[in-house]
Amino acid sequence: GDSVTQMEGPVTLSEEACLTINCTYTATGYPSLFWYVQYPGEGLQLLLKATKADDKGSNKGFEATYRKETTSFHLEKGSVQVSDSAVYFCALMMDSNYQLIWGAGTKLIIKP
């Protein structure tokens, strides 16, 4: 079945470091891809999304490009801040469906 695999955490970085969180997917068709973020004590929030191959989603300095050839949607940021500390989830949704299928989440810790 359809699935999402993302890198295990926690990922610990210093402020202003570069970030990459890997996400790969398995799907029978052409899904939409999402990154959600969960800040401590808060609900999941959509961070960015891409709906077709080669689309780039971006928000709050984060970017991810939908790569069909490598079935990947890696999350990147050039310079992280302490306020980026959170759990990040990669997810997919098939065109014919409404269910989000999720990765296990990656906890990001940014130290000042």
Binding site for another protein (CB under 8 A): 4, 32, 36, 41-46, 49, 51, 89, 91, 93, 95, 98-105
**101 Cβ contact list (under 8 Å, min separation 6):** 2, 3, 4, 91, 92, 93
CB closer to another protein, 79 vs 99: 99
Smallest distance from another protein to CB 82, Å: 22
Smallest distance from another protein to CB 43, Å: 4
CB closer to another protein, 18 vs 109: 109
Sign of CA dihedral 28, 34, 35, 38: negative
Spatial separation of the C-alpha atoms in residues 99 and 105, rounded to whole Å: 17
